[in-house]
């Protein structure tokens, strides 16, 4: 079951909520995550929720289809009945390059209709008339190939109406609203998977993705005095968001997870002015060692984004060990299967 949608639309949250519902009914689930970089917050987040997880890094599923199949094969050893698949949030043309090849070349899987998620706030800003054209291009292409479109975050936007000309389903991973109805619709067999043929200019697609700076960061943090995970993540995220805003670097999606012996905390935001969405052990005790991962997608120069993040890491009140940082703009997509 492939769950697509733009960065920050709530793909991982929906998958984990759906997996929780299915597991309660005795249905074994797994998930494959995907990213242009490595060291994924979402993979760690899924494992913290007890969901068997694989990942494909260093490129989207379409550009590393063989890696995608290998990840599915590895998870099949656990005998899941449902494997959720979350592509990169900037990815499009999934039906042609992933769904149809998987359906046509392998007889091991039944392929569910392609669900594309939409964040109401992001959609409103992109349709306001002065939106970033690259982000708007990516979102529109994702919607054009969707078998089913779902408006997410109904707990925050309960009165959201459907998008003009698009049949949408309203749901909330946090409250569970609409999640079971979505599963029933997808499993109901009334829709073909990847039925829509997307017209997409791959040169424009490459330019749109390249407008994003893609930063993945990992390190071990030893505070000078024991500190709770929430008190590491919260203040640091505030300072980083402020620094990016001051440099006129719009956040598209930012996620950070802190794992310590006392517990874990994950926080995410979709713009510089967002109130972070926080999950985990918020009352975890202070700890002397923290494993921190940060995934940031922003509009701007990778060099500038890297410099800002490095400066904020250097300001942490403690020792930073085993620093791993990669910041780049995605390479032009070159699918292994199905591309024109």
Q: What is the pLDDT of residue 162?
A: 62
Say what the pLDDT of residue 161 is.
59
Average pLDDT score over residue span 287-309 = 97
Say whether both 110 and 180 belong to one domain.
Answer: yes
For residues 237 and 158, the model is more confident at: 237
**Shared-domain flag, residues 223 and 135:** no
Task: Give residue 190's pLDDT.
Answer: 78
The Cβ of residue 252 has, within 10 Å, a number of other Cβ atoms equal to: 24
Q: What is the pLDDT of residues 236-261, one digit of tens each?
A: 999 999 999 999 999 999 999 999 99
Any domain includes 233: yes
Instruction: Say if CB 223 and CB 288 are below 8 A apart.
Output: yes
Question: Residue 280's domain is classified under what CATH number?
Answer: 3.30.70
Helix (H, G, I), strand (E, B) or coil at 327: strand
Residues 73 and 183 in one domain: yes
Whether residue 224 lies inside any domain: the answer is yes
Identify the pLDDT of residue 121: 87
Picking from 195, 184, 227, 186, the residue whose alpha carbon sits closest to that of residue 316 is 227
What is d(CA 267, CA 314) in angstroms, rounded to the nearest whole number?
Answer: 20
Average pLDDT over residues 189-200: 85
Mention every residue, 6+ apart, whose C-beta is less than 8 A from residue 314.
320
Structure confidence at residue 42 (pLDDT): 94
The first and second tokens of residue 76, run together, are 């099949």
My answer on whether 55 and 143 are in the same domain is yes
Q: Is residue 27 part of a domain?
A: yes
Instruction: Tell me if 334 is assigned to some domain.
Output: no
Q: What is the pLDDT of residues 53-71, one digit of tens each?
A: 999 998 899 999 999 999 9
Number of folded domains in the chain? 2
With respect to residue 335, please indicate whether it lies within any of the assigned structural domains. no
278 within 8 A of 267, measured Cβ to Cβ: yes
CA distance 8 to 34: 14
- Residue 8 is part of a domain; what is its CATH number? 3.40.50.300
Establish if 336 belongs to a structural domain.
no
- For residue 283, report the phi and psi dihedrals to the nearest 5 degrees: -105, 20
Largest CA distance in the chain: 58
Which residue range is the domain that position 264 belongs to?
A: 211-328
Q: Which candidate, 66, 60, 62, places its Cα nearest to that of 100?
A: 62
Instruction: Assess whether 201 and 221 both reside in one domain.
Output: no
Are 172 and 36 members of one domain? yes
Q: Are 278 and 265 in contact (CB under 8 A)?
A: yes
Distance CA 325, CA 295 (A): 10
Assess whether 60 and 165 both reside in one domain.
yes
- C-alpha distances out from residue 55 to 22, 70, 271, Å: 21, 10, 26
Q: Are residues 20 and 162 in the same domain?
A: yes
Give the residue from 209, 239, 267 where a domain finishes. Answer: 209
Q: Sorting pLDDT into bands at 50, 70 and 90, what band is 19?
A: very high
DSSP string of 234-303, one letter each residue: HHHHHHHHHHHHHTT--EEEEEEEEEETTEEEEEEESSTTPPPEEEE-TTPPPBS-EEEEEEEEEES-HH
Is residue 309, in this structure, part of any structural domain at all? yes
Given a cut of 90, whether residue 37 has pLDDT beyond it is: no
Flag whether 333 is in a domain: no
pLDDT in tens, 70-106: 999 999 999 999 999 999 999 999 999 999 998 887 7
In this prediction, residues 185-214 reach a mean pLDDT of 90
pTM above 0.75, yes or no: yes
Compute the mean pLDDT over every residue in the chain, rounded to the nearest whole number: 92
Residues 22 and 123 occupy one common structural domain? yes
Percentage of the chain surpassing pLDDT 90?
A: 82
State which of 192, 209, 226 marks the end of a domain. 209
| Same domain membership, residue 242 and residue 178 | no
Q: Which of 18, 46, 43 is nearest to 112 (CA)?
A: 18
Is 163 found in the same domain as 266? no
Single out the residue in 171, 186, 209 at which a domain terminates. Answer: 209
Residues 143 and 157 in one domain: yes
* 164, pLDDT greater than 80: no
């Amino acid at each position: 079951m492939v769950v697509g949608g733009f960065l920050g639309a709530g793909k991982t949250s929906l998958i984990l909520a759906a997996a929780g519902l299915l597991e309660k009914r005795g249905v074994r689930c797994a998930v494959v995550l995907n990213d242009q970089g490595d060291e994924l917050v979402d993979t760690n987040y899924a494992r913290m929720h007890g969901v068997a997880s694989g990942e494909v890094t260093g490129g989207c599923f379409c550009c590393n289809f063989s890696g995608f199949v290998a990840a599915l094969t590895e998870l099949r050893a656990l005998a899941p009945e449902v494997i959720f698949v979350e592509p990169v949030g900037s990815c499009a043309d999934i039906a042609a390059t992933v769904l149809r090849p998987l359906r046509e070349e392998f007889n091991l899987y039944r392929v569910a209709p392609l669900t594309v998620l939409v964040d109401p706030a992001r959609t409103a800003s992109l349709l306001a008339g002065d939106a970033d054209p690259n982000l708007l291009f990516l979102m529109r292409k994702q919607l054009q190939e969707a078998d089913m479109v779902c408006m997410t975050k109904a707990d925050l936007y309960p009165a959201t109406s459907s998008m003009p000309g698009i049949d949408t389903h309203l749901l909330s991973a946090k409250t569970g609203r609409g999640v079971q109805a979505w599963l029933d619709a997808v499993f109901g067999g009334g829709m073909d998977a990847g039925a829509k043929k997307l017209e997409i200019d791959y040169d424009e697609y490459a330019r749109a993705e390249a407008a994003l700076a893609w930063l993945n960061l990992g390190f071990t943090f030893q505070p000078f005095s024991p500190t709770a995970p929430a008190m590491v993540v919260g203040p640091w995220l505030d300072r980083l968001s402020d620094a990016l805003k001051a440099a006129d670097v719009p956040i598209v999606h930012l996620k950070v997870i802190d794992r310590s012996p006392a517990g874990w905390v994950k926080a995410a935001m979709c713009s510089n002015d967002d109130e972070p969405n926080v999950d985990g052990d918020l009352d975890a005790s202070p700890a002397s060692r923290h494993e921190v991962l940060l995934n940031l997608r922003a509009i701007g120069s990778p060099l500038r984004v890297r410099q800002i993040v490095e400066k904020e890491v250097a300001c942490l009140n403690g020792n930073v060990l085993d620093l791993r940082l990669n910041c780049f703009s995605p390479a032009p997509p070159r699918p292994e299967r199905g591309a024109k």
